[in-house]
Structure 1
Amino acid sequence: MMDLEFYQSQAQLKQKEHKKFLDQLKKKPPKSLDYLVQETHEEVFEKIDCLQCANCCKTTGPLFTEKDIERISKHLRMKPADFEKKYLQTDEDQDKVLQNLPCWFLHEDHTCSIYEVRPKACREFPHTDRKKIYQINHLTLKNTLICPAAFEFVERIQKKIEKK
């Protein structure tokens, strides 16, 4: 099993350091950044298995787009309005999000009952394979507190860039 508490405490301890690094990355990104990001993302996910953790599904709800709602409700053989009423609420930003956490669709073994049709936000989380990743520094920093892979990603990419 993954030691989530260890990763969370490390992420807390390194928030300032990571923020400083990510801010520098935004000011002066290396030319090879997109390549480094992809390479590092792949290395991290060779080491970290999301099924050992699922902390994102337990603690943070994804944003549901209209396309997500249509796709998932069709998969569940529900009307989109019924799906929304049963599972979603509108938050302060007027985004559609889950009514409750952990996610309704998370099984005890950390698998997802709607994995094939899951929301775009779930598919892209923790967003560590994005081009121009410095555009989402605030999100990357926040995700290090939730996701061991995001923490590991920032640690590794920082080491690679500081070596150069």
Structure 2
Amino acid sequence: MAKDILHNWEKKSKEHRKQYQQFLKKADKNKTLKRLPVLHDEAFENVNCLECANCCKNYSPRFKTPDVKRISKYLGMKESAFIDTYLRVDEDGDFVVKTSPCPFLNNDNSCHIYEQRPSDCARFPYTDEDVFIKRQTLTLKNSEFCPITYYVLEKLLEG
């Protein structure tokens, strides 16, 4: 059943974008938030992130100050050297990686700094928190490159 939902998901996510948008606008927030943890866990049981890594290959998390401090310490670098080597400031004023794919992405799609990764990475794709409903534009964008977000939206549409 789950494999059927995920079959050709990239194409279907684009085709269903309007449905997702309508659902997110009209959804009963509390009812939806109650369903998210179960759907989130179910999606992660059916999708292996190490087979995908689209998020790491094409996008950057925000590196907040605690992330910069923790990761630079882990790598044995001064914070300024870490920033100079790996990060840039984006149009929103946030630190993001300079290059895609992420410089910490290994050849097997694992993360070199996984235990110390930025909080954005640890929380991604936000399918078990209110960001999913509150930041609808982000959820819609994520549905086009993240099979987990797609899966959760499809399950929500099923009712």
Aligned counterparts of 1:110 and 1:41: Cα–Cα separation in 2: 21
Aligned counterparts of 2:130 and 2:85: Cα–Cα separation in 1: 36
Correspondence 1:75 to 2:52: no
Residue matched to 1:41: 40
Residue matched to 1:16: 18
TM-aligned CA deviation for residue 142 of structure 1: 0.8
Structure 1 unaligned regions, length at least 5? none
Q: TM-score, normalised by structure 1?
A: 0.89
Contact preservation (8 Å) 1:44, 1:152? yes
Aligned counterparts of 1:132 and 1:59: Cα–Cα separation in 2: 21
Aligned counterparts of 2:32 and 2:26: Cα–Cα separation in 1: 13
TM-aligned CA deviation for residue 95 of structure 1: 0.8
Residue matched to 2:153: 154
Residue matched to 1:140: 139
Aligned counterparts of 2:154 and 2:23: Cα–Cα separation in 1: 10
Percent identical pairs in the alignment equals 37
Residue matched to 2:96: 97
Residue aligned with 1:56, SS = helix
Residue matched to 2:84: 85
Structure 2 unaligned regions, length at least 5? none
Aligned counterparts of 1:5 and 1:72: Cα–Cα separation in 2: 37
Deviations 1:55-74 (A, max 9, x none): 00001111100000000000
Q: Report the AA paired with residue 134 of structure 2.
A: Q
Residue aligned with 1:63, SS = coil
Residue matched to 1:63: 62
* Alignment coverage as a number of residue pairs: 155
Aligned counterparts of 1:80 and 1:55: Cα–Cα separation in 2: 27
Change in CA separation of 1:71 and 1:142 when aligned onto 2, cut-off 3 Å: same
TM-aligned CA deviation for residue 132 of structure 1: 6.6
Residue aligned with 1:82, SS = helix
Residue matched to 2:49: 50
CA RMSD after TM alignment: 1.8
Contact preservation (8 Å) 1:11, 1:144? yes
Aligned counterparts of 1:85 and 1:133: Cα–Cα separation in 2: 32
